[in-house]
Structure 1
Amino acid sequence: MTTDTAYELVKKYHHAWTSGNVERAMSYVADDITCRAPGVDLNGKDSYRAFIGGFAPMLTGIGDIAEFTDGDRIALFYYPQTESTTTTPAAEFFTVKDGKIAESVLIFDRLSYGPPEQD
Structure 2
Amino acid sequence: MSLSTPLEIVTSYHRAWTSGDVALAMTFIAEDVTCRAPGADLEGKPAYEAFIAGFAPALTGIGDIAELADGERVALFYYPQTAATATAPAAELFTVRDGLIRESILIFDRLSYGPPEQD
**TM-score over 0.5 (shorter chain):** yes
Distance 2:106 2:36 in 1: 6
Cα deviation per residue 1:53-104 (whole Å; 9 max; x = unaligned)?
A: 0000000000124211001100000000000000000000000011000000
Q: Which runs of 4+ in 1 moved over 2 A?
A: 1-4
Q: Which residue number corresponds to residue 79 of structure 1?
A: 79
Q: Which residue number corresponds to residue 26 of structure 1?
A: 26
Q: Which residue number corresponds to residue 10 of structure 2?
A: 10
Deviation of the 1:17 alpha carbon:
0.3
Distance 1:49 1:64 in 2: 24
Q: Which residue number corresponds to residue 59 of structure 2?
A: 59
Cα deviation per residue 1:25-56 (whole Å; 9 max; x = unaligned)?
A: 00000000000000110000000000000000
Distance 2:49 2:19 in 1: 15
Distance 1:80 1:40 in 2: 18
Give TM-score scaled by structure 1 length: 0.96
Distance 1:96 1:87 in 2: 28
**Is it true that 1:68 corresponds to 2:68 in the alignment?**
yes
Aligned residue type for 2:15: H
Distance 1:113 1:2 in 2: 35
Give me the identity figure in percent: 69
Distance 1:63 1:9 in 2: 20
Aligned residue type for 1:60: T
Q: Which residue number corresponds to residue 92 of structure 1?
A: 92
Equivalent residues of 2:93, 2:105 under 8 A apart: yes
Gaps of 5+ in 1: none
Distance 1:3 1:81 in 2: 28
RMSD (CA atoms)? 1.1
Gaps of 5+ in 2: none
Structure 2 counterpart SS, 1:16: helix
Deviation of the 1:117 alpha carbon:
1.3
**Is it true that 1:36 corresponds to 2:28 in the alignment?**
no
